[in-house]
């Protein structure tokens, strides 16, 4: 990388509302569109990626397709534009992209999304529980609304369990589940306390799901990203916070979605990660995940 290409430290102050849109971000994130090169690591694999429309999920979809996988993308109905953009990158590789919109905070939607993914892909080998939401908080604990707590816990924890239950009958020996944790599980911010608790819970669930599903030959792991430039950030952080976003990491900058996707490729690959289960891979710019 030349000095000129070095990523800048922070980002211009900007604000969006949830769920956030890729085309409103300045600068646009890098999902590996022009850099990721596959080499057949996931040939023939069928993966459901929740939150696959944007950010980390989009980068994973592009990497998986270029490695030979077909993907189903789950996302909120208002994210149709982002989902279609991701699908077009997948289809450009000649792989299938199935679109499965729906709000995962409802159990019946999780079941419908799982059913559509299985039907359109002709089965399922990998579930990536990537959908997630956070909301930065200025108010005191006593002002945290039930709606907010419900949204964070249902999106990050309930949906993970409901989707896992829904896809389980379709998974098989060699399948895997990859959950998305966070540096917040290890270094929690008070302003994100409910979100941080869900991510610690996801690490804990990853260990127990690996123990429970191991005898079926199903591996369960998690990826814990550090600060990554995705629509979630301008949609949930105070605008001025983005100006220093990521600068407190040892590498001194935020990561791009494209820099997180290879960890998912590794964990999904039965050949390369066949004996890896119950673990968390950190992609944090140097912050510890232990
Ligand atoms: P993102 O906004 O691009 O992706 C999150 C996706 O979650 C959305 O696109 C949306 O489709 C989905 N989602 C949210 N609520 C949903 C609901 N009710 N029903 C269905 N889908 C819903 O942001 P991202 O940063 O790529 O987030 C992906 C994952 O990475 C999340 O789990 C997030 O917690 C985690 N993460 C992100 C960072 C970061 O700095 N960006 C750091 C650590 C962990
Ligand atoms: Mg999105």
Of 10, 99, 32, residue with least CA distance to 257: 32
- Residue 4 has a pLDDT of 40
Task: HSE, CB side, 13 Å, CA atoms: give it for residue 155.
Answer: 24
Burial class (CB in 10 A: 0-12, 13-18, 19+), 180: buried
- d(CA 281, CA 34) in angstroms, rounded, equals 25
Task: HSE, CB side, 13 Å, CA atoms: give it for residue 242.
Answer: 21
- Residue 150 has a pLDDT of 97
- Residue 1 has a pLDDT of 39
Q: Is the CB of 52 under 6 A from ligand 1?
A: no
How many Cβ atoms sit within 10 Å of the Cβ of residue 271?
Answer: 9
Does residue 24 fall inside a structural domain? no
List the catalytic residue out of 36, 75, 186, 195.
195
Q: In tens digits, what is the pLDDT along the chain, a chain of 290 residues?
A: 333 444 557 999 999 999 999 999 999 999 999 999 999 999 999 999 999 999 999 999 999 999 999 999 999 999 999 999 999 999 999 999 999 999 999 999 999 999 999 999 999 999 999 999 999 887 788 889 999 999 999 999 999 999 999 999 999 999 999 999 999 999 999 999 999 999 999 999 999 999 999 999 999 999 999 999 999 999 999 999 999 999 999 999 999 999 999 999 999 999 999 999 999 999 999 999 99
- Residue 158 has a pLDDT of 98
Q: Is the CB of 53 under 6 A from ligand 1?
A: yes
- Residue 3 has a pLDDT of 39
CATH number assigned to the domain comprising residue 79: 3.40.50.720
Does residue 162 fall inside a structural domain? yes
- Residue 5 has a pLDDT of 46
Does residue 16 fall inside a structural domain? no
Does residue 13 fall inside a structural domain? no
Atom of ligand 1 nearest to the CA of 151: 18
Expressed in angstroms and rounded, the spacing between residue 56 Cα and the centre of ligand 1 is 8
Does residue 68 fall inside a structural domain? yes
Q: Which domain holds residue 45?
A: 39-283
The closest ligand to the CA of 245 turns out to be 1
Does residue 32 fall inside a structural domain? no
Does residue 14 fall inside a structural domain? no
Q: Quote the tokens at residue 247.
A: 């600068």
H-assigned helices in the chain: 55-66, 80-92, 107-121, 146-153, 159-167, 193-213, 232-236, 257-268
Burial class (CB in 10 A: 0-12, 13-18, 19+), 287: middle
User: What domain count does the chain have?
Assistant: 1
Q: Is the CB of 132 under 6 A from ligand 1?
A: yes
Q: Kindly report the pTM of this predicted structure.
A: 0.97
- d(CA 105, CA 288) in angstroms, rounded, equals 31
- Residue 8 has a pLDDT of 52
Does residue 15 fall inside a structural domain? no
- d(CA 61, CA 70) in angstroms, rounded, equals 9
Of 184, 62, 167, residue with least CA distance to 125: 167
Strand 97-101 and strand 219-225: the pairing is unpaired
How is 160-183 classified by DSSP, letter by letter? HHHHHHHHGGG--TT-EEEEE--G
Which of 58, 159, 225, 259 has most ligand 1 atoms within 8 Å of its beta carbon, as the pocket-test mutant? 225
Residue 75 appears among annotated catalytic residues: no
- Residue 24 has a pLDDT of 97
Which residue owns the Cα nearest ligand 1 atom 24? 55
């Amino acid at each position: 990388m030349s000095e000129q290409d070095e990523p800048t430290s922070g980002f211009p102050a900007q604000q969006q509302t949830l769920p956030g849109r890729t085309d409103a971000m300045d600068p646009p994130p890098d999902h590996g569109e022009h850099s990721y090169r596959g080499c057949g690591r996931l040939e023939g694999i069928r993966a459901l990626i929740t939150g696959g429309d944007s950010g980390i999920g989009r980068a994973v979809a592009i990497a998986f397709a270029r490695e030979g996988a077909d993907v189903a993308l789950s996302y909120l109905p208002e994210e149709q534009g982002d989902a279609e953009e991701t699908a077009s990158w997948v289809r450009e590789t000649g792989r299938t992209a199935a679109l499965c919109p729906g709000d995962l905070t409802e159990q019946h939607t999780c079941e419908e999304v799982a059913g559509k993914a299985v039907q359109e892909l002709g089965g399922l080998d990998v579930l990536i529980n990537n959908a997630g939401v956070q909301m930065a908080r200025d108010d005191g604990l006593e002002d945290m609304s039930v709606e907010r707590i419900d949204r964070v816990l249902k999106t990050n924890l309930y949906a993970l369990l409901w989707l896992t239950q829904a896809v389980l009958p379709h998974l098989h020996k060699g399948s895997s589940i990859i959950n998305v944790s966070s540096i917040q599980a290890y270094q929690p911010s008070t302003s994100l306390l409910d979100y941080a608790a869900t991510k610690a819970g996801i690490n804990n669930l990853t260990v127990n799901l690996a123990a429970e599903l191991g005898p079926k030959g199903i591996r369960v792991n998690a990826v814990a990203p550090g600060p990554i430039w995705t629509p979630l950030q301008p949609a949930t952080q105070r605008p001025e916070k983005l100006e220093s976003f990521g600068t407190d990491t040892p590498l001194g900058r935020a990561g791009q979605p494209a820099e997180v996707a290879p960890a998912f490729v590794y964990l999904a690959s039965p050949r390369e990660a066949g004996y890896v289960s119950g673990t968390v891979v950190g992609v944090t710019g140097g912050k510890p995940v232990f």
